[in-house]
Structures are given as structure tokens and as C-alpha cells.
Structure 1
Amino acid sequence: MDAGLKRELEDKVSAGERLTRADGEALYASDDLVWLGRLAHQKRTERNGDRVMFNVNRHLGLEEAVATASELRDEQLTELHIAGGLHPTQPWEYYPRVLRELKAALPDVALKAFAATEIHWFEGISGLPAEEILDELIDAGLESLTGGGAEIFDSEHAAHWDDWSRIHRLAHAKGMKTPSTMLYGHAEEPRHRVDHVLRLRELQDETGGFQVFSPLRYRHDFVDPADGTGRDRPQVSTPMAEPAESLKTFAISRLLFDNVPHVKSWWVAHGLSVTQLSLNFGADDLDGSAVEYEITHDADGHGAPHPMHREDLLNLIWDGGFQPVERNTRYEVVREYEPPVPLAQRRAEPQRVWA
């Protein structure tokens, strides 16, 4: 990128002008990661200061959530993030019934469940329109959809975007706030990432219903031919996005998606070091699972950490030089945390590099 275009983009960002598709593609073409981070951090700081939000939640399958609901009462959760899946035999009536059971067992815990793809699936098995499905799920205790099922939107998969956006538009019209995501680092090109974010930005202009945008690094499922065991290792033909590419994606997402309040870095997808660095590249929110996330840390460098507790997340944020703020699903502040030593002193000392 030549110096003139750099200055032009800097001026637009400083003036608060909306970046265009061409601007987004130019940013992805830049190899100046420090410059990109500085621009994104400027916008992140203007909007959210030095605060980093996180929540305490559990990610569970639907049946697992029901089985363990009574055990979760004392974990000080604010959110239960439920992955339902497209079950081939369960009837539609099963899903609102389970939500009611969970809400009765955990009345103070917000239920965040079902991606747009699952709501579309419920349309097919029930014969009901999405509007009626959402009404019944909300009545049963659903507080937010998940952002999953987004992958990469593009013109070659128009029906996918049409259904995803239709269902989130309906949810927003009913007063529900939802997350948005982008799965990157598989078969897409930078222009597809730009297009994906701009579609979401346009829908946000219309509804204002997205609370957060989360770029999710694609993780390959590798089956070892020696024993048929599935392992979390990159496929040779399409290696996973490297840390620099992840940080670039966070920065450009923050710069392009100018009307979404928060950009989230999910530490399970990116690893702890990249997650901490992302706080200087536009991110201001960490997903929870602070109580426990049952995922194995593999020595091959995937970066999927051991279970994280609240104190671990607090130290991750403090060591990055930021102020932790615990939130709930609605992004309301639950508690603000002061560091055990002043942040200025903490910043001045060498801090732990997270594996």
C-alpha cells in the first residue's frame, strides 16, 4: 500500500467516515500489521475505552444442559450457551419444552440457544413460520440466538444469507439482541471477508439488533489415517490462519463494522496469546466459559487452552493492560474489577506469555 492511500485511510478513520468495500480490500492487502492495529485500537478505544468485557457461562449440548442443570446452580453463571444441533428425529415440541425445564431449574441464568440454521430447521420439521417459532421459544425463556451458522456469506450461497438474515431480522424485530460471527481461514479470500462484514453492517443499519461481532478462526478436524482417530491438527492442504492473519482480521473487522458495539475474541478459537493481543487490534470482549470449557489442549500448537476460570480471565485482561468488566448476555455490567496492583505498574513489568 502506498503512502498516499495510507494517509487517505487514516484520515477517513480519524474523521469517523464509513469505510467502503474498496477500503476494506485495500486494508487486507496491507502487510503493515502494526499500522492496522493502531487504526483499529483507535476506534476500539473511542467506543469502549480500556474496558474488556467477559461473561461467566457454560457451553453445553441441549441434552447435557438438561442433565446437569441442577449441578450448575452454584456456579454463578450468567449465561447458558446451548448448542442444539439438527437432530434427525426430535420433534419441534421438544425444544421449547426443554427450554422451559432449563428456565425452571436456572431462573436467573440467561438462555442463549439455537443458530439461525436451527430455527430454519425447526420451520421444516414443524411447518410453522420462523416468527411463530421465535415467539414460542422466547415464551419458553430464550433470551438470545447464537451467531453460528454464518460461515462466509457470498453471492454463490445467496440462499444461506437470505435465511440467516431473515431469521435474525425477525429476532431483532421482537426485541432480541443477537451476536454475529464470521468463520474465516478456510476456502475464502479477503474479498469474501469484506463482503461478509458489509452485509452484516447493512443489516445492522436496518435493525440495530447485533450486540457483537466475533471472527472465528476455522479449526480443521483431522482424522489420523493410522488409527482413524479424529485429532485437532491442521489439514496439510489448507493450513489454519496464522496469528498475524487473525489479528489483521480483528483489526479490519473493527474498522469496517462501525455500527456494532463490540468485537469479541473467543479464546477457545484463537488461543490465549492471540486473544490477548487482539485486545490491541479492535477486540473488547472475551467470550466466557470462565468456569469450565471441556476442550483438550493439544501440543501441536492449536492454542486451545485448558479450562479457564474467572480469575484466569481477569489476569489475562489485566496482563494485557486493560480493565475487566463482567457482563451478562444483554451486555449489562455485572461487576467491574480493580487490579491487585495499579495497571500502570502492571504494564511496566514483564508479563506472562500465554501458551
Structure 2
Amino acid sequence: MSIDRILERALAGERLGLEDGLRLYDSNEIEKMGFYANKIMEKWHPDPITTFVISRNVNYTNVCDTYCRFCAFYRAPGSKEGYVLSDEEIFSKIQETVDVGGTEILMQGGTNPDLPLEYYTNLLRNIKQRFPSIQMHSLSVAEIVKIAEVSGKPVEEVLRLLKAAGLDSLPGAGAEILDDRTRQKISRLKGSWQQWVDVMKTANRVGLTTTATMVIGFGESMEERVLHLMRIREAQDETKGFLAFISWTFQPENTNMKGEKQTPEQYLKNVAISRLMIDNIANFQSSWVTMGPEVGKRSLQYGCNDFGQTMLEENVVSAAACTYKINTNQILQLIREAGKIPAQRNTNYDILRVFKEGEMAENDFVMQN
């Protein structure tokens, strides 16, 4: 059956439902979906600008008692390979980021049961004292829940205390697939889809912005994918706190889960359908870290307006043998090859600098592992 009517309705601003989403996932007209998704993106962003943020992932600990089957990064409490970075190591990483014009730190680790709430509040205060302009886009729902559990305080109080200490926004890590059948299969201890949504809505209520994510390739059903998108959309209707949506693919190497890597076409299809279904989030990020720079470039024609993070460091995805590396000037080139104008942004999607034709970054770097 033709999907043309569904695509036209989406372009006209009509909200799509479950059956519409299922029809789209059942279709192989990926380029057509990408064309319409891009038209919707252009309604949000009429100027031909693609943004990116200079950011660093700081994985402050790899100790985790959630034991996700798909994660190759974590080490169980008591493991000789477990670590917690010293404050000075973290400060050094942030200084390196600032030195090349970075504005954002994505500080995440595991659900470490040995770290009290005070560890996080003291660390955030010290970071902000030393680096007042850096934006701490940090921690995850699972980490927030663990901090609340260890401290004995409600999640809302924990979020308020972290915000007062220097947390600026909460990334969307841990959403995976917002359906409990798949969540139970991949990580029994991570919490329900409703818990993830509730923590995000609470973060928005206390004044933290957030992002929303999706990971495909766990063996989830197409209905579960559509429900995921609708649940993100419904939460955004309520709080309007999601600044961006990012989808990527499960990387099975070195994990305890078997699975087939998603193809570039499957990834691009998911990006396009996400833009068609989620009609209330302005920014969609590419996922070049998992898919590679060339697929990242193609996603700019499938509904993405942002190339994501230009990272100095990444350890979690790399632990699953996904090791794409790229530098700032390569990102500028890829964005231009897609027919777009590159612009550096901050975490809030404020544009800090538009790069003129031929203009390159003064301080370049290669991502570290």
C-alpha cells in the first residue's frame, strides 16, 4: 500500500498514529520517507545550517551494578578493572576541552553504588568554580535513580540538589527502547520505560533541559519502535523539555547480547520515521559515532539538522568495537558536502559561530579513546 497519504499528512502538520508508524516501518520507500522528513526539518530550520557542539565524554567511573547485557564498558562492583577518576583527572579533561573551544561536558559512568550524593554535588560545584562557562550535560536516568537510592532521597530532591550544584541538563541515555518487554530482555535492573519518562519529566519540572534517545537493533518489534516515538512525543507535549532527539544502533561486539548490526538503510529509515512521527522536538542529531561519518552525512538529508558532538573522547561505544574517529575540520567538510553551512552551537542550541565558506577551525583535535 502507498505511504504517500501518510507522508502528506505529516508534512501538513497532522499528527501520525500507531497504524501510520507501522505502515511506514513496513515500507521500503526509504528515500521517499527521507525526502518528506527533510521537508519537515526545513519547516523547523529554514536556513541551510547544520549545527554541531564541541564536547567531551568524561566517563568518570565504569563501575556499574545494572549489568546491561548490551554494554561492553561496565565493570561490576569489586572488579579489579573498575575505576573512579580523581577530581584532578576530570578537571584536566575539561581544561583540554575548553582549550579547543569546547562548551559541553557529557559526564556519565555506571550506576556505582559506592558513590554518595555528596560525591556528585561536590564534584559539580568544583567544576563550575573552575570552569563557570562549561555546560554540564551530564548523568543519566539510571544514574539519577541510583543516586536517589543510595542517598535515600526522592528523585526530585536529588535533581534539585544536582541542579543547584551545577548540573545544567540531562542527556537521554538509557531510553534504549521504551517498552518493558525489550527492556526486560536487555537489562532487567534498569527500570521500566515509565520510570525513564517520569525522571525526564521531573528533570524538566525542576528546570533542567533534556534530550531523548532511541537505540534500535535489540530485536524489538516495529510496534515497540512506534510506541517509543509516541511516548517521547507525549512526554514532550507535557513538559516541552526535550531539546533534541537522537537515535542510533545497537553495537553487539564485545557484549553479552547477540544481534545483527543495523544497516545504514535501516538507520536512515528510523531517522526519517522519527522525524515524521515526533512533531514537537525541533532538533534531530545525526549518529556518526556508531554509523560512520559518511552515513552521518547522509542523515542530513533524512531529517537531521545537527551533526551531534565533536568529541575529544568516547569510551562506551568504543568498548563495543565501534571506533569511528573524526576531527572538527572533517565535520566542517562533511556538512559542506551535504550542501549545508556548518555552525558551532552550545548545549541549548544557541549558535555560537557560523563557519564561512572555506573557513576552518583554528584548534582542531582527533577524538581519543
Shorter-chain TM-score: which interval? Answer: 0.7 to 0.9
Instruction: For 1:261 and 1:69, locate their aligned partners in 2 and report how far apart those are by CA, in whole Å.
Output: 28
Q: Secondary structure at the match of 2:309?
A: coil
Q: Which structure would you say has the larger RCO, counting Cα contacts within 8 Å and 6 or more residues apart?
A: 2
Structure 1 pair 42/120, CA: closer, same or farther in 2 (3 Å)?
same
CA RMSD in angstroms, aligned pairs only: 2.4
Quote the offset at 1:104 in angstroms.
Answer: 1.7
Quote the offset at 1:295 in angstroms.
Answer: 8.7
Quote the offset at 1:304 in angstroms.
Answer: 3.4
Instruction: For 1:220 and 1:116, locate their aligned partners in 2 and report how far apart those are by CA, in whole Å.
Output: 22
Corresponding residue number in structure 1 for 2:349: 331
Quote the offset at 1:13 in angstroms.
Answer: 2.2
Structure 1 pair 87/155, CA: closer, same or farther in 2 (3 Å)?
closer
So what's the TM-score if we normalise by structure 1? 0.85
Quote the offset at 1:290 in angstroms.
Answer: 4.4
Instruction: For 1:290 and 1:92, locate their aligned partners in 2 and report how far apart those are by CA, in whole Å.
Output: 27
Instruction: For 2:131 and 2:141, locate their aligned partners in 1 and report how far apart those are by CA, in whole Å.
Output: 24
Structure 1 pair 119/293, CA: closer, same or farther in 2 (3 Å)?
closer
Q: Secondary structure at the match of 2:335?
A: helix
- Kindly indicate whether residue 14 of structure 2 is the aligned counterpart of residue 17 of structure 1: yes
- Kindly indicate whether residue 296 of structure 2 is the aligned counterpart of residue 275 of structure 1: yes
Corresponding residue number in structure 1 for 2:324: 305
Quote the offset at 1:247 in angstroms.
Answer: 0.5
Which of residues 31, 36, 43 in structure 2 aligns to 1:34? Answer: 31
Instruction: For 1:325 and 1:194, locate their aligned partners in 2 and report how far apart those are by CA, in whole Å.
Output: 32
Instruction: For 1:322 and 1:22, locate their aligned partners in 2 and report how far apart those are by CA, in whole Å.
Output: 34
Quote the offset at 1:65 in angstroms.
Answer: 2.2
Deviations 1:290-336 (A, max 9, x none): 445569989x9x76322x22212111100111111211011111111
Which of residues 29, 32, 55 in structure 1 aligns to 2:53? Answer: 55
Structure 1 pair 86/285, CA: closer, same or farther in 2 (3 Å)?
same
Q: Is the 8 A contact 1:59 1:289 kept in 2?
A: no
Q: Secondary structure at the match of 1:186?
A: coil
Quote the offset at 1:72 in angstroms.
Answer: 3.8
Corresponding residue number in structure 2 for 1:117: 142
Structure 2: 5+ residue stretches without partners = 61-84, 185-190, 360-369
Corresponding residue number in structure 2 for 1:168: 200
- Kindly indicate whether residue 43 of structure 2 is the aligned counterpart of residue 46 of structure 1: yes
Structure 1 pair 303/115, CA: closer, same or farther in 2 (3 Å)?
closer
Q: Is the 8 A contact 1:153 1:192 kept in 2?
A: yes
Instruction: For 2:215 and 2:53, locate their aligned partners in 1 and report how far apart those are by CA, in whole Å.
Output: 22
Quote the offset at 1:175 in angstroms.
Answer: 2.1
Q: Is the 8 A contact 2:290 2:324 kept in 1?
A: no
Q: Secondary structure at the match of 1:142?
A: coil
- Kindly indicate whether residue 217 of structure 2 is the aligned counterpart of residue 185 of structure 1: yes
Aligned residue identity for 2:254: F
Which of residues 159, 162, 168 in structure 2 aligns to 1:134? Answer: 159
Displaced runs of 4+ in structure 1, greater than 2 A? 62-73, 155-159, 289-298
Structure 1 pair 170/142, CA: closer, same or farther in 2 (3 Å)?
same
Please show how residues 1-355 of structure 1 align to structure 2 within 5 Å.
Answer: 2-3=1-2, 6-49=3-46, 50-62=48-60, 63=85, 64-156=89-181, 160-222=192-254, 238-291=259-312, 293=314, 304-306=323-325, 308-340=326-358
Quote the offset at 1:71 in angstroms.
Answer: 3.9
Deviations 1:140-195 (A, max 9, x none): 11101111011111153595122111111111112221000011112212211111
Instruction: For 1:198 and 1:187, locate their aligned partners in 2 and report how far apart those are by CA, in whole Å.
Output: 19
- The alignment covers a number of residue pairs equal to 324
Quote the offset at 1:274 in angstroms.
Answer: 1.0
Quote the offset at 1:222 in angstroms.
Answer: 2.7
Deviations 1:79-136 (A, max 9, x none): 0111132113122211111111211221111011111111111111000111111111
Instruction: For 2:265 and 2:216, locate their aligned partners in 1 and report how far apart those are by CA, in whole Å.
Output: 13
Q: Is the 8 A contact 1:69 1:105 kept in 2?
A: no
Instruction: For 2:31 and 2:264, locate their aligned partners in 1 and report how far apart those are by CA, in whole Å.
Output: 13
Q: Which moved more, 1:184-193 or 1:201-210?
A: 184-193
Q: Which moved more, 1:169-178 or 1:256-265?
A: 169-178
Q: Is the 8 A contact 1:201 1:259 kept in 2?
A: yes
Structure 1 pair 123/292, CA: closer, same or farther in 2 (3 Å)?
closer
Quote the offset at 1:70 in angstroms.
Answer: 4.0
Instruction: For 2:44 and 2:352, locate their aligned partners in 1 and report how far apart those are by CA, in whole Å.
Output: 19
Instruction: For 1:32 and 1:39, locate their aligned partners in 2 and report how far apart those are by CA, in whole Å.
Output: 11
Identity, % of aligned positions: 31
Instruction: For 2:171 and 2:267, locate their aligned partners in 1 and report how far apart those are by CA, in whole Å.
Output: 22
So what's the TM-score if we normalise by structure 2? 0.82
Instruction: For 2:123 and 2:322, locate their aligned partners in 1 and report how far apart those are by CA, in whole Å.
Output: 34
Q: Secondary structure at the match of 2:271?
A: helix
Instruction: For 1:150 and 1:72, locate their aligned partners in 2 and report how far apart those are by CA, in whole Å.
Output: 27
Q: Secondary structure at the match of 1:135?
A: helix
Instruction: For 1:186 and 1:15, locate their aligned partners in 2 and report how far apart those are by CA, in whole Å.
Output: 33
Q: Is the 8 A contact 2:54 2:101 kept in 1?
A: yes
Instruction: For 1:281 and 1:122, locate their aligned partners in 2 and report how far apart those are by CA, in whole Å.
Output: 38
